[in-house]
Amino acid sequence: MLCHFSDFFSTLFFVFENTKLIIAPQINNFQKNINQMVILSSLYGQTSNNYFQYVNIDAYCKENNIKFIAPMFELKYAKKFPNFTKKSGLLIQLLYKNRITRGVINRILKKITYKLDTIENVPYFKEKLINRNICFVSGWYFSSPKELSLNRLYYKNQFQPLNSILEKKSKYFDLDFDGITLGVHIRRGDYKEFLDGKYYYENDVYIKFIEKFIEISQYNINILIFSNEKIEEEVFSRFENLKISKENVDTDHYLMSECNYLIGPPSTFTMWASYIGKPKCFQIVNPDGQLNLEKFIKY
């Protein structure tokens, strides 16, 4: 369901007035200063899903001169990226930051948010955006590949991590190494249950694909392994020039983006690293599948 921004704030004012949180002057001033816009009312999934959810809508709005804000996204992630441009404004940030007001807003938004819960919804939603209808939106299925491609460098700058993370590169990458770096994403944890464990692979699957990559590559190879579970180093001791990252999610995202190639199960985690960085990705959809360099994709 699409709604007018003024309708939302009229409802919000009524709720706050009856709970003795009188913010009418701020609301009225805010209404006078806004034009039509799109607001991402809730986030979907985990970190990489949130990133793609945000940039797909933001890029489309950016290319079509439509205002877009994502208060919850900014509260959750903006502090991690010093170049990130905040768009929500102080009032919106304060409303979302307070647990009570955020709860009130979320209850209202559940009734008036347009849900992108199927791919079929996307053309209708894009039409409404172009026609300048104001709406709150949630869901995962909005996609704007053309606009994402046009704005790759913009988002690479927007999502450049903190210096404390950038400095970790020298720990895992030898700048004098004459060759390429293969990143291997061993996704465990939640993948044991996701799709009934379809993409939960044991170590022998990853070892096989690393060996295949070494066979088809004409370069010296540095191997960097990432996982959301502890990896025993001796399991991969057969490979030279191999390191295992023991960093957090944000650092792993950055280190992955500095690799030349990535191998792993289907995951937005590696896709995001490819989008903002260097690597081409090969997703292991079949543990018995074949590997060649043409199957690596740049996202």
Structural domains in the chain plus CATH codes: 5-158 (no CATH), 163-295 (3.40.50.11350)
Of the listed ranges 84-88, 98-102, 138-142, 240-244, the least confidently predicted one is 98-102
Cα–Cα dist 23/45, whole Å? 32
* Mean pLDDT of the residues in the chain: 84
- Of 244, 246, 275, the C-alpha closest to 52 is 275
**Residue 259: CA count within 13 A, CB half-sphere:** 36
Mean pLDDT, range 191-214, rounded to an integer: 93
User: What local confidence, expressed as pLDDT, does residue 116 receive?
Assistant: 80
Mean pLDDT over residues 45-59, rounded?
A: 95
* Displacement of CA 57 from its chain's centroid (Å): 12
Q: Could you tell me if 24 and 13 are in contact, meaning their C-beta atoms sit under 8 angstroms apart?
A: yes
Q: In this predicted structure, what is the pLDDT of residue 95?
A: 67
DSSP secondary structure string, 133-194? --EEEEES----HHHHHHTHHHHHHHT---HHHHTTHHHH--TT--SEEEEEEE--GGGGTG
CA distance 235 to 243: 12
Average pLDDT over residues 265-274: 96
The token pair that represents 118 in the structure block: 């199927």
Confidence of residue 91 (pLDDT cuts 50, 70, 90): low
CB count within 10 Å of CB 148 equals 19
Q: How would you list the strands of the sheet with 180-186, edge to edge?
A: 242-244, 221-227, 180-186, 261-264, 280-283
205 membership: H or E segment, kind and range? helix 203-216
pLDDT, one tens digit per residue, over 1-23 is 344 444 444 434 333 333 333 33
Q: Is 202 helix (H, G, I), strand (E, B) or coil?
A: coil
Give the percent of the chain with pLDDT over 70.
82
Say what the pLDDT of residue 12 is. 40
Q: What is the mean pLDDT of residues 121-126?
A: 80
List pLDDT tens digits, range 156-197: 999 999 999 999 999 999 888 899 999 999 999 889 888 888
More confident residue, 222 or 12: 222
Token pair recorded at residue 87: 């768009």
Give me the mean pLDDT over the 78-85 stretch: 96
Query: What pLDDT, on a 0 to 100 scale, did the predictor assign at position 119?
Result: 82
Rounded to 5°, the CA angle 125-195-185 comes to: 95
The answer to whether the CB of 209 falls within 8 A of the CB of 284 is: yes
Cα–Cα distance list, 5 to 44, 192, 197, 202 (Å): 22, 42, 43, 50
